[in-house]
A and B are shown apart, each in its own frame.
Chain A
Amino acid sequence: MTRKQITIGCGAIILILLPPAALLSGNPYLISLTSRIIIYALAAASLDLLLGYGAMISLGHAAFVGVGAYTIAILHFHSAGAEPLFSWPFLFAGSNNALLTLPLATLSASFAALIIGGLSLRTTGMHFIMITLAFAQMLYYFFISLEKYGGDDGLSLATRNSLVGLNLGNSSHFYYLCLAALFVFLILAHRLVNSRFGLVVRGAGNNDRRIKGLGIHSYRYKLVTFVIAGGSAGLAGALLANQTEFVSPGLMHWTLSGELMVMVLLGGLGTLFGPVLGATVFLALETTLAMYTEHWMIYMGPFLVLTVIFAKRGLFGFLAGDKGKNG
């Protein structure tokens, strides 16, 4: 076994055993905290596909988290209320069934990513960063303007979604749903980056001009990656909406996009598993600092600056050695 496999294996075992351990030791709050970490880890790992492999510096990833979350909330809103979501071409009253809502959330986030990515990927470099940020902000203002769905104040869910065989209201059940989503994503993404498709995307991320010189139309590959990452972020958003039973435009605020980026960098760019670690450390740090001071950002800010200037490999690279790269 390599050091990398040991690191990943230990992480997986800890995550699988956490709920019973937390219950036995009398710290049940750890389960919901870790659920939140897992959800953010999913969002951060999906962002890593863009940042670490395709070198697409998207500063608007939170938009897709938000679209996923709002899909859950809006479907729930209509299923609970009298008014159907739409009545043409067929009557659809909304839904609270996770088997329907989670895929729909993923799909709608993918669709948003297709539009935003399709336009943004016409540009590169600094333009791309600013444009993804601007589009995310557009969605943020769009949801603020939706008075019907709570506008600025957001929308509450009466219950979590239902899923056959599980009680998502139970924190352990919900935890394992989130963990399963993360594992499935990591496995698929790991296959993806090592496939022929992934090789092209990594090549384009490394040297786009050369890829074009080889005769590959890299735009399509990047766009597909953007859509996959956006959809996965949407799934994370859907889970987040279920966990907090509340959505608001704040989910799409660009500070969340920035935080997701921080998690990726902290954990290690282009490692997929690193962002999981990054999300853990970031949220743990935030939670701990927030216990001592409400002004935790005054420490987090300079910490970030110093991390960028001095640390280059990320935590995962530190734990798993140089082979941490490429999933």
Chain B
Amino acid sequence: MLLVIEQFLNGLQLGITLFLMSAGLTLVFGIMQVINLAHGSFYMIGAYVGATVAAYTGSFLLAVLAAVGAAAGVGCIVEMLVLRHLYARQHLDQVLATFGLIMFFNELIRIVWGRQPVFMNVPGALSQSIQLLPGLHYPTYRLAVIGIGLLVALLLWLMFAKTRIGMQIRAGSSNREMVGALGVNINLLYTLVFGLGALLAGLAGVMAGPILSVEPGMGESILILTFVVIVIGGIGSVRGAVAGALLVGMVDTLGRAFLPSILRTILAAATADSVAASLSSMAIYILMAAILVWKPRGLFPAHG
């Protein structure tokens, strides 16, 4: 039972990371109708900048600020230099150009930081474990990640529900023409939304730094999970991103943790392990396919 709770928390933590990645990206898709493959690069930049700043200054807080700033900055620059030229283009052009961006950023990272993974320490104050229940110790850092993620989700919700710009963004993701009709500066709004998405990705990256290895190409594996989340949740829907992220985080984590032991009850140990390994690595895609058959536009389709 304790193991279940622990894995549940792990799933929640992966879900939070995925939510940070997908919340921004789903808005970019929904509002600008542009498919951006380079979103994972902002995650990677956040992780690298964060790891470096943490190593030099020893301050995790500074690392987070630098990572978030760098990712948002690069995001805005990329939007202004490249993405802006692609809004009116076909999806194919957008895919190819942002694929080029990925190549560029991955290689840039290799040139600056080398091919070896960079290590990032868990900040000292959070390096302990907390006893949640008798017999259940859980790393403080992971709890902090969950906490920060929930906080960001709350802030995003407040922004969308209460502020003017939030309402404009929401209006834009469900009806693009309306934003223009409201007399909003579209260029600025687009850059801001894109920058916000990059900022969240950078935050996800730096927070994942101490948990995962920081290496070139780390952005792509998370990007594809993010796509699965967005497909499940529905393009342009932040609510869908929340649901999709939690669903994917849970299914992936719990599948990897418990499928082997479940299958062992019905299969021979060796067979069970190999089947479980295959199944758990494919679980979220099977989930996606199932949801697709049921609801081709995702759980919470944003466009009428």
A–B contact at 8 Å CB threshold (below):
yes
* Interchain CB contact (< 8 A) of A122 among B86, B102, B293: B293
Tell me the bound Cα distance from A82 to B98 in angstroms.
48
In contact, A297 and B103 (Cβ under 8 angstroms)? yes
In contact, B35 and A129 (Cβ under 8 angstroms)? yes
Give B283 Cβ to nearest chain A Cβ, in Å.
10
Question: Taking each of A57, A119, A147, A301, which has the highest tally of chain B beta carbons within 10 Å of its own beta carbon?
Answer: A301
B281 touches A (CB below 8 Å) = yes
B13 touches A (CB below 8 Å) = no
A287 touches B (CB below 8 Å) = no
In contact, A262 and B224 (Cβ under 8 angstroms)? no
In contact, B96 and A304 (Cβ under 8 angstroms)? yes
What is the total number of residues of chain A having a CB less than 8 Å from a CB of chain B?
Answer: 44
Stretch at the interface among A2-10, A137-145, A178-186: A137-145
Tell me the bound Cα distance from A305 to B107 in angstroms.
15
Report B-chain residues with C-beta under 8 Å of the C-beta of A57. 91-92, 95
Of the four ranges (under 10, 10 to 19, 20 to 34, 35 or more), the interface on chain B belongs to 35 or more
B230 touches A (CB below 8 Å) = yes
| B55-91 CB contacts (< 8 Å) to partner A | 82, 85-86, 89, 91
Given A123-B297, A297-B107, the answer on whether A134 and B224 have CB atoms closer than 8 Å is yes
The digit string for A216-231, where 1 denotes a CB below 8 A from any CB of B, is 0000000000000000
Give B21 Cβ to nearest chain A Cβ, in Å.
13
Stretch at the interface among B2-10, B166-174, B284-292: B284-292
* Interchain CB contact (< 8 A) of B292 among A131, A298, A303: A131
Tell me the bound Cα distance from A304 to B94 in angstroms.
11
B106 touches A (CB below 8 Å) = yes
Given A141-B281, A295-B111, A309-B85, the answer on whether A304 and B297 have CB atoms closer than 8 Å is no
Tell me the bound Cα distance from A255 to B96 in angstroms.
11
In contact, A119 and B292 (Cβ under 8 angstroms)? yes
In contact, B235 and A126 (Cβ under 8 angstroms)? yes
A45 touches B (CB below 8 Å) = no
In contact, A145 and B281 (Cβ under 8 angstroms)? yes
Tell me the bound Cα distance from A302 to B297 in angstroms.
33
Give A190 Cβ to nearest chain B Cβ, in Å.
22
Given A147-B274, A262-B96, the answer on whether A130 and B230 have CB atoms closer than 8 Å is yes
Given A133-B224, A135-B285, the answer on whether A258 and B99 have CB atoms closer than 8 Å is yes
Question: Taking each of B29, B92, B292, B298, which has the highest tally of chain A beta carbons within 10 Å of its own beta carbon?
Answer: B92
Chain B, Cβ-Cβ closest to A52? B92
B113 touches A (CB below 8 Å) = no
| B258-304 CB contacts (< 8 Å) to partner A | 274, 277-278, 281-282, 285-286, 288-289, 292-293, 296-298
In contact, B231 and A254 (Cβ under 8 angstroms)? no
In contact, A125 and B93 (Cβ under 8 angstroms)? no
Give B222 Cβ to nearest chain A Cβ, in Å.
12
Report A-chain residues with C-beta under 8 Å of the C-beta of B126. none
The digit string for B96-129, where 1 denotes a CB below 8 A from any CB of A, is 1101111111111011000000000000000000
| A283-306 CB contacts (< 8 Å) to partner B | 295-298, 300-305
In contact, A301 and B103 (Cβ under 8 angstroms)? yes
Given A122-B296, A134-B231, A142-B282, the answer on whether A301 and B104 have CB atoms closer than 8 Å is yes
Give the B-binding residues of A (Cβ under 8 A): 51, 57, 59, 119, 122-123, 125-127, 129-131, 133-135, 137-138, 141-142, 144-148, 254-255, 258, 261-262, 265, 269, 295-298, 300-305, 307-309
Contacts A255-B220, A258-B99, A295-B107 aside, 4 further interface pairs with beta carbons under 8 A come to A147-B274, A147-B277, A261-B92, A295-B110
Give the A-binding residues of B (Cβ under 8 A): 29, 33, 35, 82, 85-86, 89, 91-93, 95-97, 99-108, 110-111, 220, 224, 227-228, 230-231, 235, 274, 277-278, 281-282, 285-286, 288-289, 292-293, 296-298
What are some 21 contacts across the A-B interface (CB < 8 A)? Answer: A57-B95, A119-B293, A126-B29, A127-B235, A134-B227, A138-B282, A142-B281, A145-B274, A146-B274, A261-B92, A261-B95, A261-B96, A295-B107, A301-B102, A301-B107, A303-B100, A305-B100, A305-B101, A308-B100, A309-B82, A309-B97
